[in-house]
């Protein structure tokens, strides 16, 4: 018997992409999920680049080129790429403040046989993915 569940939903103009995804995860009590796909557009992005403390942000019109990562009510980790009207693309760690322009169409899967947590494990200074399997 499959323990995998599929979810699909749409965010409307003005929604904060990261906050809205996490609210959905929390409302559905997802313990171990992953982003299957997200297409849409933004009027503002906020991304944190690799190994950088500051957030890069810009306003305008941007297409969501990709959004992927792990999802859990115990902590999610998402990376996103966006492109501008010339096709210039930028990507990084998804931060709050990415505002939906026309739509964000999202498909998520989860597996009830696992639990994702984010904890320090001594290999890096950051909270990293820890995977537990339910018995």
pLDDT in tens, 100-131: 999 999 999 999 999 999 999 999 998 999 99
pLDDT digits (tens, 9 = 90+) for 67-85: 999 999 999 999 999 999 9
Give the confidence band of 2 by pLDDT, cuts at 50, 70, 90: confident
- Residue 134 is predicted with a pLDDT of 83
Backbone angles phi, psi at 81, to 5 degrees: -120, 140
Q: Which residues of 44-67 are buried (b: 16+ CB within 10 A; e: fewer)?
A: bbbbbeeeeeeeeeeeeebbbeeb
CATH number of 4-133: 3.30.1330.80
Residue 117 to residue 109: CA distance in whole angstroms: 17
Please state, in angstroms and rounded to a whole number, the distance separating the CA atoms of residues 82 and 88: 8
Q: What is the pLDDT of residues 10-50, one digit of tens each?
A: 999 999 999 999 999 999 999 999 999 999 999 999 999 99
For residue 52, give the H/E element and its range: none
Is the predicted pLDDT of residue 1 greater than 90, yes or no?
A: no
Average pLDDT score over residue span 54-72: 97
The residue extents of the domains of the chain are 4-133
């Amino acid at each position: 018997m499959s323990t995998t569940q599929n979810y699909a939903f749409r965010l409307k103009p003005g929604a904060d992409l990261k906050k809205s995804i996490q609210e959905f995860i929390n409302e559905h009590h997802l313990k171990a999920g992953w982003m299957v796909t997200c297409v849409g557009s933004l009027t503002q992005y906020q991304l944190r680049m690799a190994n950088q403390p500051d957030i890069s942000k810009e306003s305008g019109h941007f297409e969501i080129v990709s959004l992927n990562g792990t999802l859990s009510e115990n902590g999610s980790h998402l990376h996103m790429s966006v492109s501008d009207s010339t096709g210039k693309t930028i990507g990084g760690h998804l931060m709050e403040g990415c505002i939906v322009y026309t739509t964000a169409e999202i498909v998520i899967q989860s597996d009830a046989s696992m639990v994702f947590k984010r904890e320090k494990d001594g290999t890096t200074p950051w909270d990293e993915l820890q995977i537990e399997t339910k018995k």
